Amino acid sequence: MKPYPALLVPIMRPLPWGGDRLKELSGADRPDGPVGEAWIMSNREGAVSRIANGPLAGADLSEYLDVFPDAAGHVCKDGVFPLLIKLIDAADKLSVQVHPDDLYAAKNEKEPGKCEVWYVIDAEPGSVIITGLAEGTSVREVTEKEPAEGMFREIYPVPGDVIFIPPGLIHSIGAGILICEIQQNSDLTYRIFDFGRKWGGAPRELHLQKAADCIVNYSNDDIQTRRFSKGGPDDPSVLCSCDKFTVFKFSATAEVPAVFKVKDDRFAALTVVSKDAEAELVSGGEVIRLTFGSSVFLPAGSGNVTVRGKAVFLVSEI
């Protein structure tokens, strides 16, 4: 038996600001109440993606990597899986929050920091994303009193926008936005303000001192917010490239399939982000049906992978 492309089952995460748009993902459970996140590729204790296809169907991603220890390539040599990929449905606005960098997280939390990038799948007219402090606003102001209008830098996203969220950047996703998030494998979020919401009968915890320790007052020029049509400087398919991950965007049509290559020394993760997708992935003799939200772990050395049919999808690698 050799490594093969593994279709992953979404892990549904009920959250107070969530909605109903993720409940229709193929293979997913349909919990009662609002679903804020679907973890579509995860290898974290207590939240490990299950395999839906092939000889290891029913096993989880951790067990897959035990059977095929070279499938992740060099990026898992330290035993830590490097990526976590989510779909996020913000029916209501998320908390105003910040994530720590690797140094702070290792010292204080004993896990990696959190760098992430968002691909906007859908955004209702007038919806808002917070990316940093407005000019003239201090870290002290937002961590010692309730945030007020005018304290934050706001953008009005449209589908296809790419927003890079480095550690230390204050941010929030507004109501009416659906995104795909590619991030370091970390669940560290320091909430600064949560709009008085309750979850489980009590207000959610705030982390004001830790947030104050981590906030970086980035300038406008430091924040990457762009439309995909501009592409990358050397490769128009590159959405984001940093020291934690690189994310590519591809489109397949009925007439023209999309072909990309998985490198010999690292895995790739495929995520379908078009809501009307109807396609199939072909790799190493395996054929996998793809619809919106499909997530496929592609083992290192898979070589050329073909997607035929109708789909817009992201490919993430380390």
Q: Does residue 256 surpass a pLDDT of 80?
A: yes
The mean pLDDT value for 11-30 works out to 90
**pTM for this one?**
0.94
State residue 296's pLDDT score: 98
State residue 236's pLDDT score: 61
Higher per-residue pLDDT: 146 or 232 = 146
What are the residue numbers of the active site? 191
Backbone φ and ψ for 220, nearest 5 degrees, come out as: -55, -40
| Residue 222: pLDDT band with limits 50, 70, 90 | low
Tell me the CATH architecture of domain 6-228. Sandwich (2.60)
What single letter denotes the amino acid at residue 197?
Answer: R
Q: Does residue 169 surpass a pLDDT of 90?
A: yes
| Residue 1: pLDDT band with limits 50, 70, 90 | confident
- Express each pLDDT in 119-136 by its tens digit: 999 999 999 999 999 888
Q: Does residue 234 surpass a pLDDT of 70?
A: no
Maximal CA-CA distance, the chain: 60
| Residue 230: pLDDT band with limits 50, 70, 90 | very low
Domain covering 231-317 assigned CATH 1.20.950.20 in the classification: no
The mean pLDDT value for 305-318 works out to 96
CATH 2.60.120.10 domain position(s) in the chain: 6-228, 231-317
